[in-house]
Structure 1
């Protein structure tokens, strides 16, 4: 049962989290659309305060629907969600002034310049001091690298520039929580690096960042914690290092004798053995790698190197779901 607004929580705990150090917590959160489509299925999500939390899953896995429920944009069919210690969507007016969000791309006035769009956004915020409005807008434009293009009409912006402008709108005020839905969509590699750097900077300033993406590499580079969604269900969540550690790495043998090496590795119990030019990769067998090395040498394989590559989030995803990660659709 949800706690009422008048419960005995301190004001500080309300504003920063739920009393357990969590900025977002959901219980059995569910969204079913008309026609019976189940978009989110009994989601139990926990986002620690101060984390950069990656919300990971293929397109269509329920990430954006979850975010829309967390922000009070749509009502859940069942279950509950608390953001910054308050029940959503009931406490949206209390919560949202402390949250910056970029969801499904920014809504912009195409006939206005980037700068004027931000001035409109800031003017719509009842907590924003109009005397310092232009200073906030210029600072936000600078943070996302749009100062030079601030005078252009938004309709002339590329997709990546529109993403930057939407992020600038989310950064007009200091935020306890920043929610970003696919923030690097449409950006070139340099732009993606800049956004990742900005996310790290915000986190170091104490802002909790909740970042959804279908790009595993992006999550692994910038996030401290992550959750994996697939077909509306939560597969796993936790520290990124722990999630990757849950998957076994790949054994890599560098040798000119790839056929013989592949045969020996299979005899030693290695799985998914793949021979490439001058190297063989495999899922490590359940035995001491020193024994595997001895077996290779005894069989006459010229071993130039033998290592175990660290497992990635992609390895973890495949291990958990038994399928690849469709980054395109």
Structure 2
């Protein structure tokens, strides 16, 4: 089997083993990272400020060398084989670098001209297709310096889509976009994944990750906390107890007596964190009934990825990095 054939059947498009980056002065930015990104996945990379996400991405793209450990993209070691593997990878990292005096279309033409593998005979058609895919056809003739932040993000994404890519690496791809633009980019990411492109994206928007990603990894203080399918990560966090009752004060008192914490009362709705241990939600419901609390509804809300993130890192969800 040829090297190309082996790459075609690999089931992991990004893999790191003990990947470590220590900067001058001793700052440990990434500490022994073991990461695996399945082929065909939309993989979310999460972590609070300073957690090592951007440093990891820069090592994966061959922009900086690791202190120790290994990383492979599409089965090839980086940074050693970066020149041969990166033409198969589209990337938008730390915002697009644009020539403000050129139009959006001419920026893409210049990007494409710098690619030795790009066919000049199909260049304009591919540029037009990339502009259309990110919704910038009407603004293609406008100078990039007049673009809004969201339009610049779109143009940067278009530059990553000029050629078919097996892997797309996106750093905060919806930064600066309005809600409609965010929905469009999420839809585009899903389309790319459906076409067979693996998408690796970092984001501080947990709702975005939960909506579009199939897998995710959580970083904290330079170390990998957890990785896996998004549904499993969310399932690992306990959901909140929700009780609807015309007797909210009495319900809150009973639940507190039975170990429920972080209680919140809003009109006839009482919520709280289930206590650890053997107590079952059904037992709590029975305790409410015995205390003459009129229960209109009782249940446990499904935990969100935000719940899992906070439980794993102790950090708030609105994080950047």
- Alignment TM-score, normalising by the size of structure 2: 0.96
Match of 2:15?
A: 25
- In the alignment, the residues of structure 2 paired with residue 214 and residue 198 of structure 1 have an alpha-carbon distance, to the nearest angstrom, of 19
From 287, 300, 303, the equivalent of 2:279 is 287
Corresponding residue number in structure 2 for 1:150 = 140
* Equivalent in 161, 167, 180 of residue 157 of structure 2: 167
Compute the displacement of 1:38 (Å): 1.5
Secondary structure of the 2:176 match is: coil
Query: Could you tell me how far 1:290 is from its partner in structure 2?
Result: 2.3
Residue in structure 1 matched with residue 65 of structure 2 by the alignment: 75
2:315 pairs with 1:323: yes
Matches within 5 A, 1:42-81: 42-81=32-71
Matches within 5 A, 1:79-90: 79-90=69-80
Q: Which residue of structure 2 aligns with residue 13 of structure 1?
A: 6
Cα distance between partner residues in 2 of 1:16 and 1:85: 10
1:41 aligns with 2:34: no
Residue pair 2:44, 2:203 contacting (<8 A) in 1 also: yes
* CA RMSD between the two structures: 1.4
Structure 1 match to 2:189? 199
Distance 2:317 2:29 in 1: 18
The residue number in structure 1 matching 2:231 is 241
* Structure-2 residue corresponding to 1:4: none
User: Which residue does the alignment assign to 2:174?
Assistant: 184
1:124 aligned residue: 114
In the alignment, does 2:244 pair up with 1:254? Answer: yes
Question: Where does the alignment leave 5 or more consecutive residues of structure 2 unmatched?
Answer: none
2:256 to 266, 287, 301: 266
TM-score by length of 1: 0.94
C-alpha separation in 2, matches of 1:328 and 1:28: 24
Structure 1's 81 and 325: CA in aligned 2 closer, same or farther, altered over 3 A?
same
